[in-house]
């Protein structure tokens, strides 16, 4: 789908512990194998203690910057609704968005000082119309037996944007980055995620 020389920008956001880094590692494995230059950037350390986490993922023929330019994301993959809203301005007008339908309350909401934004889905649909996919990743993962796999459900949904990349390339990458005992669960999670676009 890429024109020659064009770099594709994927912005991932979530809450520390949701597996943003694993998801971006899988993307790395897939697009490297597909022959692209790849760069990704994330912040470690203190920010991970339940704070919001983001990963900038870029691939193309030649990638210079490890960071996406503000407003230039082709895709937003978000593992939590509020963390999707926080980065909405990073997405290009024609950008595409996948959001995990999950709410994790930040302290100000837990303490009753602020409300959790209720209309995130609506705002995304207002600006991005049909380019918004809300995936019930947590519920799908829960049914598979482990809510931790919600990240891979979203990777599965995202894989639909790249029909030229074979399914095995995705599942091979999943196997590379996960312990053997987690392969079956996560490959199922990937397939369930991939199927969400059929509906």
Partner 1 sequence: MKQIMQGNEAIARGAWEAGVTVGCAYPGTPSSEIMAELSKYKEIYTEWSPNEKVAVEVAHGASLAGGRAIACMKHVGLNVAADPLMTIAYTGVKGGFVIVVADDPGQHSSQNEQDSRHWTRFGKVPMLEPADSEECKDFTRIAFEISERFDTPVLLRSETRVSHCDSLMELGERKESTIQKGLDQKETPKYVMVPMYSRVRRVAVEERITKLAAYAEAEFPYNSMEINDPSIGFISSGVSYLYTREVFLHYSFLKLGMVWPLPRNTIAEFFKKVKKVIVVEELDPFFETEIKAMGYKVWHGKDLIPAIGELSPGIVEQSLRKAVEGKNYKAPKIRIKPEDLPRRPPNLCAGCSHRPLFYALKKLGLYVFGDIGCYGLAVAPPLSAMHASTSMAASVGGAYGAGKVLGKDGLGKICAVLGDSTFLHGGIGPLMDAVYNKGYSTTLILDNGITAMTGQQEHPGTGYTIQSEPAAMIDYEQLARAVGVKHVKKVDPYKVEETIEVIREEVNRDDASVIITENSPCILLRRAKPLEKFRNPFYGIDTDKCRGCKVCLEINCPAISWQEGEGQTKDGHKRKGTGFINKDQCVGCEVCAQICKFEAITPGTR
Shorter beta-carbon distance to partner 1: residue 79 or 194: 79
Strand partners, 13: 54, 78
Min separation Cβ 199 and partner 1, Å: 26
Q: List residues binding partner 1 (CB under 8 A).
A: 15-16, 28-29, 32, 37-52, 63-72, 82-83, 85-86, 88-90, 93, 105-112, 114, 116-117, 123, 127, 147
Min separation Cβ 57 and partner 1, Å: 9
Nearest in space to 17 (alpha carbons), one of 147, 117, 112: 147
Distance in angstroms (rounded) separating the CA atoms of residues 28 and 37: 10
Shorter beta-carbon distance to partner 1: residue 52 or 74: 52
Shorter beta-carbon distance to partner 1: residue 1 or 32: 32
For residues 47 and 37, the answer to whether their CB atoms sit within 8 Å is: no
Min separation Cβ 56 and partner 1, Å: 9
DSSP 182: G
Min separation Cβ 123 and partner 1, Å: 6
Enumerate long-range contacts of 129-135, CB under 8 Å, 24 or more apart: 131/94, 131/95, 131/96, 131/97, 132/96, 132/97, 132/99, 133/96, 133/97, 133/98, 133/99, 133/157, 133/196, 133/197, 134/99, 134/101, 135/98, 135/99, 135/100, 135/101, 135/193, 135/196
164 burial via Cβ count (<10 Å: 0-12, 13-18, 19+): exposed
Min separation Cβ 190 and partner 1, Å: 20
Shorter beta-carbon distance to partner 1: residue 51 or 166: 51
Shorter beta-carbon distance to partner 1: residue 50 or 145: 50
Shorter beta-carbon distance to partner 1: residue 26 or 187: 26
Nearest in space to 141 (alpha carbons), one of 193, 176, 196, 181: 193
Min separation Cβ 194 and partner 1, Å: 23
């Amino acid at each position: 789908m890429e024109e020659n020389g064009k770099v594709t920008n994927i912005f991932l956001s979530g809450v520390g512990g949701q597996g943003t880094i694993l998801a971006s590692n899988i993307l790395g494995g897939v697009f490297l194998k597909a022959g692209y230059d790849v760069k990704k950037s994330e912040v470690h350390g203190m920010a991970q203690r339940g704070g919001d986490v983001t990963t900038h993922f870029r691939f193309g023929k030649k990638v210079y910057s490890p960071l996406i330019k503000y407003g230039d994301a082709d895709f937003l993959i978000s593992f939590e609704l509020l963390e999707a809203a926080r980065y909405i301005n990073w997405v290009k007008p024609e950008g595409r968005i996948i959001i995990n339908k999950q709410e994790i309350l930040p302290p100000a909401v837990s303490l009753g000082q602020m409300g959790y934004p209720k209309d995130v889905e609506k705002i995304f649909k207002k600006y991005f119309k049909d380019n918004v996919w809300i995936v019930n990743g947590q519920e799908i993962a829960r049914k598979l037996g482990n809510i931790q796999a919600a990240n891979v459900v979203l990777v599965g949904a995202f894989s639909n944007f790249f029909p030229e990349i074979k399914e095995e390339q995705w599942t091979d990458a999943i196997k590379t980055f996960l312990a053997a005992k987690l392969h079956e669960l996560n490959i199922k999670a990937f397939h369930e995620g991939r199927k969400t676009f059929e509906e």
